[in-house]
Amino acid sequence: MDRELALEFVRVTEAAAIASGRWMGKGEKNAADGAAVDAMREAFDSVAISGRVVIGEGEMDEAPMLYIGEEVGGGGMEVDIAVDPLEGTNLVAKGLPGSIAVLAIAPRGGLLHAPDMYMEKICVGPKAAGKIDINAPVAENLKAVATALDRKVEDLTIVVLDRERHAKIIGEAREAGARIKLITDGDVSPAINVAIDGTGVHMLIGTGGAPEGVIAAAALKCLGGDMQARLYPENQADIDRAIKMGITDVNKVLTIDDMVYGEDAFFVATAITQGDLLNGVRYFGGGARTHSIVMRYKSGTVRFVDAIHKFERKPLFVKRV
């Protein structure tokens, strides 16, 4: 993929963030999500790719735009796209931190077609890559990560979605001595944070959305981090959905390379509300300021983009003399 496309991808997530950020704190999560979808879909039209949505807003009969299988882009290299125009709808609705507009892109056939179901996940940064085991007890994984980071378990902070299903994980982590950061929604942002020094988190663990898991895997692959995952079907319908999308073994432990294939991938995110890594959208008279991250696996490049957008441009009048 052309590296010059990186900034074009950033413009796509910026558009979604600016549109949905207007709804922050207004209690209208569906309106915020709809604004993000509309803006992201329109922005894709100007990008020189022939893109196919493999992870999106649902099936064609469930979503009018950015549905699975939809073709986007202005024409060019064939790529697969995973999108979440608004990751953390409740966060925006309540004005809480951590919501982002996010996408992952790889050459055609480069992303796992993850069905919309739950997925078990464990994510760590580069120093702990190769040290985790999704089948091992929580305490064992914590010890392995602590050793890799040259610190004690008591020095670790792990991120877990605040759900009843995670009571056992939380209990084992507390017993082991780790500090826990419970989040209400949106596990893509913290998955990125574990792989970047200075964010203050060292591991993400628990069960969340499978589509979001693939997007997080793209980020972690670009950053040199590690992730293991396993689909968590709740019923036969989930199993049938996975098989329909080409996943024959729903119990398989998935690695990063199982979720993001090949030697090239982009990951892009723009913050909507304030986060540990990125600043949320800030509006001013006639414009807004956004903060994004764009990374590429092939080059290992990670860029932060701090952008000012002018919505209105006043005409320049030159006085004749």
Task: For 101-160, write each residue's pLDDT tens digit.
Answer: 999 999 999 999 998 899 999 999 999 999 999 999 999 999 999 999 999 999 999 999
Length of the chain: 321
The verdict on whether residue 130 carries a ligand-binding annotation is: no
Task: Please write down the HEC assignment for all residues of 26-68.
Answer: CCCHHHHHHHHHHHHHHHHCCCCEEEEEEECCCCCCCCCCCCC
What predicted TM-score, i.e. pTM, was given to this entire model? 0.93
Tokens found for residue 6: 């990186």
What is the Cα gyration radius of the chain? Answer: 20
The verdict on whether residue 258 carries a ligand-binding annotation is: no
The verdict on whether residue 28 carries a ligand-binding annotation is: no
The verdict on whether residue 14 carries a ligand-binding annotation is: no
The verdict on whether residue 71 carries a ligand-binding annotation is: no
In the chain the domains, ranked by start, together with CATH numbers, are: 4-109+264-310 (3.30.540.10), 118-258 (3.40.190.90)
First to last CA, the chain: 52
Is residue 1 very low, low, confident or very high in pLDDT (cuts 50, 70, 90)?
Answer: low
The verdict on whether residue 264 carries a ligand-binding annotation is: no
The verdict on whether residue 89 carries a ligand-binding annotation is: yes
Is residue 321 very low, low, confident or very high in pLDDT (cuts 50, 70, 90)?
Answer: very low
The whole-number average pLDDT for the span 244-270 is 94
> Which of 91, 93, 86 lies closest to 36, judged by CA?
86
Type and span of the H or E element at 82 = strand 77-87
The verdict on whether residue 61 carries a ligand-binding annotation is: no
The verdict on whether residue 283 carries a ligand-binding annotation is: no
